Structure 1
């Protein structure tokens, strides 16, 4: 069993982002699950919420093994796995980060990763705040889901 310390650092004021609450939960579940899965048994995972201009930013940070630089660009592809042999032992399909990217784009947002081998990874999800002027859903998507704000607190 792992003894990972999970920390949450919510914003001082709640943030309302243009995203469906259930889909936002899917984004968070995937990112936190991956962080726990790839962090050693006594590591740390931190989830932070903050506002930057007209975007709500959710960061999921771990002190796990990290992702090699030459593989970071591909981790959001469907079925891609950094270490196929190790991933089979841990489970997973290689779809989680692809789903995260798709949902972020659906709501007019984005996801990015910063990672260093041996130091861990930080995934940042950026979603438009309710009332932001620049919200544009991904081409070819219906923005009906994004019309109901999700509150981050």
Structure 2
């Protein structure tokens, strides 16, 4: 999460792979490394500083979730900057308030999952922020992403 949003559970409604602009969702991942990779891809490698934190949240197990499988998405769903196959599916889920959480495959690592959390769902207040920790990656990662060769 970026520090300018202050509240780690704030959903600004910025368009993403799984939501059209104005749809207020939070994106999460099943691991910190995946969340980091997703963030770096989205930001194209910029932002290695103290502006970003890791928000650890807890979602009660008793809440229903919906999971989208690769077969439901069709080929090409994970193309960079082409959300034409994913947004309609997720927008329908969002608008119908089907579940608080939509589990989706990661476009970065399709064997891993991301979690789209509907911030307008009636159960959104059941999410708890457990911790907010620094994101301090190895500086060599930034150099690699910027195309610099490191020895």
- When normalised by structure 2's length, the TM-score is 0.26
Judging by fraction of residues, say which structure has more strand. Answer: 1
